[in-house]
Amino acid sequence: MKILNIVGARPNFMKVAPLHRAFQKKSEIESKIVHTGQHYDAKMSDVFFNQLELPKPDYFLGIGGGSHTQQTAKIMLEFEKVVEAEQPDLVLVVGDVTSTIACALVATKMHIPIAHVEAGLRSGDRRMPEEINRILTDSISDYLFVTEQAGIDNLKHEGVPDEKVFMVGNCMIDSLVYYRQKAGLLDIMPSLGVAKDDFVLMTMHRPANVDTAEGLTSILQIIENTTPYKKVLFPIHPRTKNNIERFGLTAKLDAIQGLILTEPQGYLEFLHLMENSALVITDSGGIQEETTYLQVPCLTFRDSTERPVTVDLGTNQLLADLNPVTVHEKVIETLEGRAKKGVIPPLWDGHAAERIAEVLVQKFNQ
């Protein structure tokens, strides 16, 4: 059974790493990795090759930037050549990035079965390109591997036959469990000027939050309101940094006492910082899941989440807008120990990839 595993953006690496390991343990599976190059720079390369112990990709498509339409078209054209050359038995896609839907479209047009890992997630917000990617990919996939009950419910509501859907757990958590000890051995906090529980970790990158002067001004005010209580460690995304410069807010950013700005961190470094922080403030999707597993309080700046289990069972709280007053209240509540307590969702145990491998071998042998 030849499987082409698709990666294109940073979160994909953490999901494909445990899958590739699980597939390699199965004599029935030949596992190959296709990197579209949707996101590619030295930091991504480091994460991919070194930290996650993945081999060099069998194919690197070198797509690079561009609009969603341009990226989708370029990926489809290049991936079609790979499918023609390899004649795989299955194309496996993860998550909801442009590479996911682009490669799934090629596979279905060439009559290759598709497995979608992290299927069924819905935010209800079709303005997000990721939401469209999720819906379309699920509609053409043959095997839908689900991380939480909401995924089962969403797919059932959309009329997906039960026999296509498998609750397996969360591959992102597989990577966290696998690398947690290695991340714990890092000694990076002294060089950053922080210690366990004495800092708030922040990430912000979504266009809705960082593409306007108003949004960025609110983010800076939130940081300024937080630093009297805890240092704020902010690995700043290139998009966010560029927009701060574009709107003339660099001086205001630099003037905040107690703010520690860093470059984007590697996977292990960020995992280490998450586990040792007092609170995480973010607009990321995957971080909601990781903080829930680590039992670290998380405030997420989005008006909806495709991962409701992180709110229903986990440590995550959604904040619909960047209101510094509301955020200040939540930060104080958390730092005083009054944050919501969470539990780890079912099957988030580090073995999701193994379950996926078992299902695929079983189905292929039928």
Rounded CA-CA distance 312/153 in Å is 15
Q: Are residues 225 and 188 in the same domain?
A: yes
> When comparing pLDDT for 217 and 65, which is higher?
217
What's the number of domains the chain is made of?
2
Q: Are residues 147 and 213 in the same domain?
A: no
Predicted confidence band of residue 341 (pLDDT cuts 50, 70, 90): confident
Q: Are residues 30 and 159 in the same domain?
A: yes
Whole-angstrom Cα Rg for the chain: 20
Mean pLDDT for the stretch of residues 12-37:
95
Is residue 153 one of the residues assigned to a domain? Answer: yes
Which region holds residue 350: left if phi is over 0, alpha if psi is between -120 and 50, else beta? Answer: left
Q: Are residues 259 and 130 in the same domain?
A: no
Q: What is the pLDDT of residue 47?
A: 67
In the predicted structure, residue 49 carries a pLDDT above the cut 80: no
Mean pLDDT for the stretch of residues 1-30:
95
Q: Are residues 361 and 217 in the same domain?
A: no
Q: What is the pLDDT of residue 339?
A: 84
Give the domain extent around 322. Answer: 180-336
| Chain segment 265-323, per-residue pLDDT in tens | 989 999 999 999 999 999 988 999 999 999 999 999 988 899 999 999 999 999 988 88
Q: Which of 233, 228, 247, 248 is nearest to 194 (CA)?
A: 233
Rounded CA-CA distance 154/202 in Å is 31
Q: Give the total residue count for the chain.
A: 366
Is residue 324 one of the residues assigned to a domain? Answer: yes
Q: How far apart are the first and last CA of the chain?
A: 12
Is residue 206 one of the residues assigned to a domain? Answer: yes
* Of 35, 68, 157, 205, catalytic: 205
Q: Are residues 42 and 157 in the same domain?
A: yes
Query: Are the C-beta atoms of residues 314 and 292 closer than 8 Å to each other?
Result: yes
Is residue 221 one of the residues assigned to a domain? Answer: yes
Q: Are residues 232 and 97 in the same domain?
A: no
Three-class DSSP category at 125: coil
Q: Which of 245, 243, 291, 242 is nearest to 270 (CA)?
A: 291
Rounded CA-CA distance 293/314 in Å is 8
The residues that bridge with 166 in the sheet, in sequence order, are 145
Q: Are residues 154 and 292 in the same domain?
A: no
Predicted confidence band of residue 152 (pLDDT cuts 50, 70, 90): very high
In the predicted structure, residue 154 carries a pLDDT above the cut 90: yes
Q: Are residues 24 and 113 in the same domain?
A: yes
Q: What's the token pair of residue 45?
A: 């390369």
In the predicted structure, residue 236 carries a pLDDT above the cut 90: yes
**Residue 126 DSSP one-character state:** T
Q: What is the pLDDT of residue 266?
A: 87
Q: Are residues 267 and 152 in the same domain?
A: no
Is residue 341 one of the residues assigned to a domain? Answer: no
Q: What is the pLDDT of residue 127?
A: 87
Mean pLDDT for the stretch of residues 70-91:
97
Rounded CA-CA distance 108/93 in Å is 12
Predicted confidence band of residue 11 (pLDDT cuts 50, 70, 90): confident
Query: Are the C-beta atoms of residues 45 and 148 closer than 8 Å to each other?
Result: no
Q: What CATH code is carried by the domain that includes residue 128?
A: 3.40.50.2000
Is residue 354 one of the residues assigned to a domain? Answer: yes
Q: What is the pLDDT of residue 206?
A: 87
To the query of whether residue 205 is one of the catalytic residues in this protein, the response is yes
Q: What is the pLDDT of residue 40?
A: 66
Mean pLDDT for the stretch of residues 337-346:
91
Q: What is the pLDDT of residue 138?
A: 98
In the predicted structure, residue 45 carries a pLDDT above the cut 80: no
Rounded CA-CA distance 335/341 in Å is 13
Q: What is the pLDDT of residue 321?
A: 81
Q: Which of 94, 194, 101, 196 is nearest to 139 (CA)?
A: 101
> When comparing pLDDT for 322 and 130, which is higher?
130
Mean pLDDT for the stretch of residues 8-28:
93
Question: What residues contact 259, with CB distance under 8 A and at least 6 apart?
Answer: 223, 227, 231, 232, 234, 253
Is residue 344 one of the residues assigned to a domain? Answer: no
The amino acid occupying position 53 is E
Cβ count near 365 (within 10 Å): 8
In the predicted structure, residue 253 carries a pLDDT above the cut 90: yes
Largest CA distance in the chain: 64
In the predicted structure, residue 41 carries a pLDDT above the cut 70: no
Q: What is the pLDDT of residue 42?
A: 62
Q: What is the pLDDT of residue 365?
A: 86
Is residue 174 one of the residues assigned to a domain? Answer: no
Least confident window among 77-91, 96-110, 331-345: 331-345
